[in-house]
């Protein structure tokens, strides 16, 4: 019998500080499928905000720290497509040639990706009798390939949707622009606030037009942006991370 993989849980900064319920939902969901998690308390930011702003000197020590902390595990899982993409697609700028980096890069997974591709989960037991719009984040869609994307001529697939749609009573609504950017983009939302807000409101309007009661997705950063606009405009739509839906805590 093969030994049980050791799994390190990475919780992004904004989840830890603003949405801890998402991290807890991820823990409960993974434990439901028999995953024995380790949460290294010495973990820090992955460095994505600094890298996105061009501050490589500040991002490098955080990448080195991530390798030091998480390089000991067989798998690393995070409820954030953008942070996982940072490790898999952008850490080579800082860690290429470092012992253990390629293993870390190949074995770091977004939460739904891990459930589908590694654990082979086909169905999640639970009930969520609501109309739900699924937001496809850019990093998850185009860098991690969690779904096919409208610009790619490949057989359709969607790892997040496959899990969410297995919940009893749920109705996933059809959006007009299913994989359009929400406008968050990390520091883009600060540097180009007006454009960012316009893009976010366009996404919210698409969900509302489709009849969504809830907007969900695999990146709390995108959902945080949409939720801020929803609150500011007094919209009735609710925002929940996919981990909350799947863990039955919505």
What is the per-residue pLDDT across 105-148, written as a single tens digit (0 to 9) for each? 999 999 999 999 999 999 999 999 999 999 999 989 889 999 88
- DSSP 8-state class, residue 139: I
Give the model's pLDDT for residue 52: 86
Residue given tokens 């850490």 in the structure block: 91
pLDDT digits (tens, 9 = 90+) for 144-155: 999 887 777 778
Alpha-carbon gap, residue 172 to 165, rounded angstroms: 7
CA distance 27 to 7: 11
Of 47 and 186, the structure prediction assigns the larger pLDDT to 47
Q: In the sheet where 171-172 sits, what is the strand order?
A: 171-172, 131-135, 214-217, 238-241
pLDDT tens digits for range 190-239 = 788 899 999 999 999 999 999 999 999 999 999 999 999 999 999 999 99
Residue whose tokens read 């807000």: 197
Spans of all domains in the chain? 7-118, 131-246
- Region of 109 (left: φ > 0; alpha: ψ -120 to 50; beta: rest) is beta
pLDDT at 212: 97
The CATH number of 131-246 is 3.40.50
- When the pLDDT of each residue in the chain is averaged and rounded to a whole number, the result is 93
pTM of the model: 0.93
C-alpha dist (Å) from residue 232 to 26, 197, 204, 236, 239 = 28, 11, 12, 11, 14
CA atoms within 13 A on the CB side of 34: 6
Give the DSSP letter of residue 236.
-
Kindly tell me if the per-residue pLDDT of 2 is higher than 90.
Answer: no
pLDDT of residue 159: 96
């Amino acid at each position: 019998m093969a030994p049980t993989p050791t799994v390190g849980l990475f919780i992004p900064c904004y989840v830890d500080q603003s949405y801890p319920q998402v991290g807890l939902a991820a823990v409960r969901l993974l434990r439901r499928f028999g995953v024995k998690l380790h949460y290294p308390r010495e973990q820090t930011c992955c460095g994505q905000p600094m890298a996105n702003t061009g501050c490589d000197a500040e991002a490098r020590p955080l990448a080195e720290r991530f390798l030091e902390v998480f390089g000991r595990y067989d798998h690393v899982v995070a409820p954030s497509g953008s942070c996982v993409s940072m490790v898999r697609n952008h850490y080579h700028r800082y860690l290429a040639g470092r012992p253990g980096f390629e293993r870390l890069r190949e074995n770091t997974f977004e939460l739904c990706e891990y459930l589908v591709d590694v654990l082979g989960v086909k169905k999640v037991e639970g009930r969520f009798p609501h109309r739900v719009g699924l937001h496809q984040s850019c990093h998850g869609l185009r860098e991690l390939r969690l779904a096919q994307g409208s610009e790619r001529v490949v057989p359709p697939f969607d790892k997040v949707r496959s899990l969410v749609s297995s919940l009893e009573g749920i109705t996933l609504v059809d959006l007009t622009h299913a994989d359009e950017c929400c406008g968050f983009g990390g520091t883009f939302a600060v540097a180009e606030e007006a454009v960012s807000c316009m893009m976010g409101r366009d996404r919210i309007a698409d969900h509302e037009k489709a009849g969504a009661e809830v907007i969900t997705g695999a990146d709390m950063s995108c959902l945080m942006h949409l939720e801020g606009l929803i609150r500011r405009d007094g919209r009735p739509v609710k925002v929940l991370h996919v981990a909350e839906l799947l863990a039955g805590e919505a």
